[in-house]
Structure 1
Amino acid sequence: MTGKHIVVIGAGYAGLSAAARIGRGPDRVTLIAPEQRFTHRVRLHELAAGRQVARPEIARVLRGRKVTHRATRAVELDLAAREVLTEDGERVAYDTLVYALGSRTSWGGVPGAAEHAYPTERAEELRRRLAEGAPGMLAVVGGGATGIELATELAEAYPAWQVRLVAAGRVGGWLSERGRAHVLAVLDRLGARVDENRRVTAVTAHGLTCEDGEIPAEVVVWAASMEPQPLAAASGLAVNAQGRALVDDHLRSVSHPEVYVIGDAAAVEVPGIGELRMACATAMPQGHYLAKLLTGRTDKPFSYRYATQCLSLGRGEALVQLIHGDDSVRPRVLTGATGRLVKAGIVKGLPLSLR
C-alpha cells in the first residue's frame, strides 16, 4: 500500500462523488457509509408516490477505483487520534478525513412532529401508508422546494387523498412571480389546497395545531427545513450557529486542517454569493473539486456559480427557474414539456456524474 489513507464518511452526492474520483489517484481510500445503494435524495418524493427510482449500487459506482467501502455508520470522530469510530466497534485511522454526512430533516423543535409526521427519509413507509390506508386528509408542511414537490407528486399519485400544503410563509416565495404563479396553478389543478402564512406549533395524531387554529389530518408529511447531521459539532469541529462546519476556501476545516468538509455539512462561503445553500447542485461540485484538490489536479480555491433551480410538479409538469450566478432569480421560467425534459435530464444525469 502506498500513499496516504483518506477516509470519506457519507455516501451522498458530495461524499460518493468525492470517493469515486479520489479513488483514481495514488492514495488509499476508505468510504464509511451504511448504505449498499445510493440514495437519490432529490427523487424521494417520487418514491413516496410509488414511482420506480433508480438507485445504483455503491459497489458499481466504485468499480475500478482504489476504494474500500465499509458498510457501517460513523458514530464518533477522535480528531486528536485521527480515527473514526464505527457503530460496529471498529476504529479506522486516517491521514486525511473527508466529512460528508450531509443533512437531515429538521423538526424545528415543534412538539409531536418527530412522533407523528413522515419526513422524506421515510418515503417508502409513507408510500405504504398512502397506498394501503383509508384515504383522508394529507397535510404537507413546508412551502419550499421539498414541500412543493411532495404536495404535487402525492396529489397526482393518490387522488383519493385530500392534499393540503401548509406553509409558514408564501409557497414558493423565493421564485419569480411567473414561477410562483405556475406552482400555485399546478397545485390548484391537482386539487391541492394551499394554506399560506400558517405557522405550525404542534403535530398530533389528529393533525396540525397552528397559531390560528387546528388543521385535521390523517397523515402529516414534514418538509419544513433541513439541518446538518450533528456529528461534526459533537466531535469538536468548528461549526456555525446552524451546525454547519466552518471551512476555508479550499473546503478545509478551520479548526482541524486534516479534515475537509463538503456538501450540506459545510458552511461554504463564496465571494459574491455568501454561504451556499444545501442542495445537490452545490454538494456534487464540492465533491468533484475536492477530488481534484486531493489528487493534485488543482490548487486553486473552490469557486461556484448557480445555474438553475428545478422543481418537479408531478409527472406531467415541472418548473425550471432561471437564476443569476449569485442565486437571485431571473423573471423567466421554463414550464410544460420543456421544463419537464430539462428537469428530468438533470435529475437522471446526477447518478451518472458520481463517477
Structure 2
Amino acid sequence: MTNILILGAGYTGIAAAIRVATRTRRHGGKVTLVSAAPRFTERLRLHQTAAGERLDDHAIADIISGTGIDLVLGRVTALDPARHEVIVDGGRVIGYDKLIYALGTVTDLSTPGVAEHAYVYDDHDQAVRLAHRLGELDRGTVVVAGGGLTGVESATELAEAHPNLRVVLLSRGRPGSMMGDKARAYVDKAMARLGIQVRCGADVVKVLPDAVELSDGELVDSDATLWTAGTRGLPLAAEAGLTVDGQDRIVVDSALRSVSHPDVYAVGDAAAVRQPYGVMHGTCQGGIPTGLHAADALADGLLGRRVKALRFGYVHQPLSLGREDAVIQFTHPDDTPRRWYLTGRWAIAYKETVSSSPMPTYRLLKRGLVPVGLFRLTAGLK
C-alpha cells in the first residue's frame, strides 16, 4: 500500500485528491486529505462574500464522499520530509510515502499594521468579518489596497453593494495594468461609474486603525481597510528544508516534484512552476490543472508509466466589475494581452462560467469522466 497525503482542501487540493484516488485505488493507493476547515471556501468569490452575498455551503466530507479518501481536519503545523511525516495541530503525526502540497498562499503581512488593522482574504471567516463591518457603517470610507485583479473586483463589488460608502482604491501602478489598453480603459470607466476614487502611484507604508499612511506621509482616512497587495507561501516549506523561491513557493521540476525532495509534489499557488516564458504566477487558471497534472504524474510514477512534463499557457484575464458588469481580456500563453476582449453581459456570462462552483467538476472527476486533456484545452495547457 502507498500512503498518499494531500495537504490543503481548496480548489487544487480537492481536485488532486479525487484524481489520484481514482487512479490509484485499484493499485494499493491510500489517500488522505488534510483540511484546516470542514467547509469548502470559494476563494474566487470572497469579494462577493465581503459585499454581503451568501454563497452555497459545501462540506468537504460530502464533496469527497464515495472516493475512499480519508479526511483529517486540522491545521498543518510542521512538515518533516526526511521522516516522511506531517504534524497537525494537537500534535497528531501523519506519515506518507508521497505528498501533494496544496496549501496555497496567504496575504503578505510584511507591511506594518496589516496583520493588526486590515481585512484580508485568507479564509471565508475574514471575508465575513469585513461584510459585518461594512454592514455597520451608515457612511464612511473603505480603502482597498492593491490594484491587481482582486483589488479591482473587490472595489467594484463593495462600491456597488454599498453606494452609501466612499470606496478608495490605492494602487502603485494603474489598476488592471496587465490588461490591454482598451480593456483597461473599460475598467477605468466602470470604476468611475461606481464612484470609486482611484489613487495611482500610492505606496502604502503602514496601516493604522482608522487610516493608511502613504510613503509621502499623507494619511488616507479609512473606516475599513482591505489588503489585496501581495501574497506569499506559508513558511512551512522553507522551515522543512524544501527549496523555495523568494515568495516561499516550493520550486518544482516539470512533473511538479520538489527539486530538493522528489516525494513531495507542489501545486497551485504554492508551487514555483517554470515554463518557457518564465515562472507561472498564481491565478485560478493554473490551480486545478496543476493539481490534476501532479496527481497523474504521481500515479504514473507508481504504475511504472512515463511521467509527462507540464506545459501551461494562459488564455484570459476574467474580471468582474460588480454583479452587473465584467471585462474579459484574452491573452497569449505568457499572459500578455491579445487584441481581443469582451465586455458587458457576454463578459458576465463568460466570467460566471469560468469562475462557477467547481462542484460539477468534482462530481465528474469522481466518476472518472473528466480527462486532463479537457483542462489542457480550457485552461491553456498545450
- TM exceeds 0.5? yes
2:376 paired residue number: none
Deviation (angstroms), 1:133: 3.0
Q: Among 296, 308, 311, which residue is 1:303 paired with?
A: 311
Q: Distance in 1 between matches of 2:316 and 2:340?
A: 11
Q: Per the alignment, in what secondary structure is the counterpart of residue 292 of structure 1?
A: helix
Letter in 2 for 1:258: D
2:119 corresponds to 1:115: no
Letter in 1 for 2:269: D
AA matched with 1:254: V
Distance in 1 between the 2:359 and 2:184 partners? 29
Which runs of 4 or more aligned residues in structure 1 lie more than 3 Å from their structure 2 counterparts after TM superposition? none
Give the whole-Å Cα distance in 2 for the aligned partners of 1:191 and 1:328.
29
Question: Any idea what the Cα deviations from partners look like across 1:275-326, whole Å, max 9, x if unmatched?
Answer: 0011121111011112222223762111211111101110000111110112
Task: Work out whether 1:263 is the aligned partner of 2:262.
Answer: no
* Structure 2 residue corresponding to 1:130, chosen from 131, 134, 141: 134
Aligned to 1:312: 320
Q: Distance in 1 between matches of 2:59 and 2:202?
A: 41
Out of 85, 96, 99, the position equivalent to 2:98 is 96
- C-alpha spacing 1:339/1:100, structure 2 compared with 1 (3 Å): same
1:140, 1:185 → 2: CA distance? Answer: 18
Kindly state the Cα deviation for residue 204 of structure 1 after the two structures are TM-superposed: 0.8
CA distance in 1, matches of 2:104, 2:114: 21
Asked if structure 1 preserves the Cα contact closer than 8 Å seen for 2:212 and 2:221, the reply is yes
Distance 2:136 2:223 in 1: 13
3-state SS of paired residue (1:249): coil
Give, in angstroms, the shift of residue 257 of structure 1: 1.1
Distance (whole Å) between structure 2 residues aligned to residue 144 and residue 350 of structure 1: 24
Is residue 252–residue 260 contact of structure 1 (8 Å, CA) maintained in 2? yes
Structure-2 separation of matches of 1:240 and 1:300: 23
* Distance (Å, rounded) in 1 between the aligned partners of 2:49 and 2:80: 37
Which piece of structure 1 moves more, 28-37 or 289-298?
A: 289-298
**1:1-355 superposed matches below 5 A:** 3-24=1-22, 25-26=24-25, 27-107=29-109, 109-121=110-122, 122-212=126-216, 213-271=218-276, 273-296=277-300, 299-354=307-362, 355=365
Q: How many residues align?
A: 351
Percent identical across equivalent pairs?
A: 39
The two structures, once aligned, show a CA RMSD in angstroms of: 1.3
> For 1:60-108, what per-residue CA distance to the aligned partner results, in whole angstroms no more than 9, with x for missing partners?
221211210001111101111111111021111100111111001113x
Q: Is the 8 A contact 2:179 2:336 kept in 1?
A: no
CA distance in 2, matches of 1:82, 1:162: 51
Give the Cα separation in 1 of the matches to 2:179 and 2:187.
9
Once the 2 structures are TM-superposed, how far is the Cα of residue 349 of structure 1 from its aligned partner? 4.7
CA displacement at 1:206 relative to structure 2 = 2.1
Structure 2 distance, partners of 1:229, 1:332, is 37
Does the Cα contact within 8 Å between 1:103 and 1:228 map onto a contact in 2? yes
Q: Which consecutive residues of structure 2, in runs of 5 or more, have no partner in the other structure?
A: 366-382
Amino acid at match of 2:262: P
More off after superposition, 92-101 vs 56-65 = 56-65
Letter in 1 for 2:240: S
